[in-house]
Structure 1
Amino acid sequence: MNFRMAPYRVLAQNGRNWHILLLSDGRLQLDFGPFAMALHQDAFGLLHGLIEAATQNCPATAGCVAHAGAERSIWIDPQHGALLLAFDGVVLRFMPQELLVFVQLCREASRQIALVPPSFPLHCDRN
């Protein structure tokens, strides 16, 4: 599709029907098929940095894996073996292998728009 005619450009996609789109207003849309959310590029960069930290620092115990404040963090849910991404009032649940797929999408999208996500420490206060 010609970007000049479409209201978006596909930055990254995978076989799960997940996409990251660059919208015509400069925001990025995380599209998971039946659910999508749009973020400004700085918020996307922060989210990308969080999931990068979570994939590098994923302990087997419950608690916070990565955080950038109370409303932007990733937690392990040991009861279901899932990772919970809380970001500005939205909570997304990923199985560990799904988070790896999502981080690959974020890497491709960031590469396409020359965005460098912030780094977070590889430890988290679990209190």
Structure 2
Amino acid sequence: MSTLAQVLAVTAGVLHVGVGVVEAFFFQRPWAQQFLLRKRSSPREVDLWAFNVAFYNVFLGLGTVLGVVLVARGLVDEGRTLVLYTAGFMTLGGIVLWISDHRLWTGTLGQSGFGLATLLATLAS
């Protein structure tokens, strides 16, 4: 994997972990809802959903970073495979987000932007 692919993968991973932390622990704060939903209120029923989705993002981000660690430790095929899977997951997850609600296009860019860039850079290297 190229250095560019590794930097993009770590960036995508850290971004997903960060968003996961916001979703899990700060979701009820107005600034977090504005950041995540583009509005400042949501029904209380959404809290459990947000907490669950948060950990999908955290695990996805950690998996991406783990892939880069594996590459750095000489397990190139294993690490590259993990990065390709997680980057593909991010990319497709962002597309599904946009299909479900076009107003969340900024979330789509955040979810899939670095994932797609990582995917392309990894495939090219």
For Structure 1 versus Structure 2, the TM-score category normalised by the shorter chain is under 0.3
| Structure number having the greater helix percentage | 2
| Structure number having the greater strand percentage | 1
Q: What TM-score, normalized by structure 1, do the two folds share?
A: 0.26
